[in-house]
Amino acid sequence: MSLHQRSLTGVILASWLAFVTLGCTVTPSQAPLAEEEDIEAQVLQTALIRNRARLEPKGGVVVPLNAEYDVAAAAGIRGQIEAVIRGMWFGLEFDYANVETTDPITRGSTQQEQLSADTENLMEYFDRYQLLLTWDYEIDTGSGPFYPTFRFGLGLGGVMVAPQEAPGNTLLDFDDFFTVVVQPRVGFRFPFHENVGAFFQANLNWSPEGQLSGDNGLTRENVDIGDKVEFSAIEIWGGLSFEW
């Protein structure tokens, strides 16, 4: 082998040894780095859930889908906790509304008029009490403190309707009526302090049509009153949000 060939062979061997040495040096250092990054990501993910709680008193308006009822004022309160992942809230909500009838029968109505009147016209108003289990998910629209948070969710629960007889209804006494309610909703929360914000929400309050019953003043029997009644409504809410 010539001197030139030996020199070329030496360069190749030296280069191969340098490459192997570099590989052995880099590979072990990258593995701990990747492990550290995974640990940091897990710690960061855990830190995102701060077990926050929230209390939201609210007021709003109820727009019945049944044209026999007037638009009404409403009030409520909701308590929630953040769980599972950041931005997911579970809670309990209580709402109240007093809804008046647009055309209740007046005093002096005959028995025939009372028996033939629509179910809605036999009541002057009804009180509505509802209790919901709630789920909401929030999406930040920006990183600053004053950027609103978009929220959407669902409420499931029960509602009690307590009708009050119209002035002209002297024949039929309504029983309280119980049914289920499903409430899809969307809204925005506007934080103006670390622990305080305002929110606005719109939702559909859906319940199946219900058959009311009550006591007949003539026969003293408990009877079905008229046809089924629609109690679903669109609601618009606003209120304060206290978070800690």
* Measured CA distances, 220 to 38, 173, 214 (Å): 74, 10, 10
The pLDDT tens digits for 171-199 are: 999 999 999 999 999 999 999 888 999 99
State the pairing for strand pair 196-205/149-165: unpaired
Composition of the chain by helix, strand, coil, percent to 5: 25, 50, 25
Higher pLDDT, 210 or 40: 210
Structure token pair of residue 143: 């990183």
Single-letter code of the amino acid located at 146: F
Cα 99 from Cα 128, distance rounded (Å): 8
* Fold classified for 51-243: Porin (2.40.160)
The stretches of 107-238 forming alpha helices (DSSP H) are: 111-116
Q: Per DSSP, what are the bridge partners of residue 110?
A: none
Nearest-angstrom CA–CA distance, 54 and 48: 16
Q: What is the pLDDT of residue 100?
A: 98
pLDDT at 103 exceeding the cut of 90: yes
| The model's pTM | 0.78
Of residues 83 and 194, the one with the higher pLDDT is 83
The domains of the chain are located at 1-48, 51-243
Contact partners, residue 169, CB within 8 Å, separation at least 6: 104, 105, 109, 114, 117, 122, 123
Q: What's the confidence (pLDDT) of residue 22?
A: 45
Q: Whole-angstrom Cα distance, residue 240 to residue 78?
A: 10
Return d(Cα 227, Cα 73) in angstroms, integer. Answer: 26
Kindly report, residue by residue over 17-41, the tens digit of the pLDDT: 444 454 444 444 455 566 666 666 6
Average pLDDT of 76-99? 96
* Structure confidence at residue 65 as a pLDDT band (50, 70, 90): very high
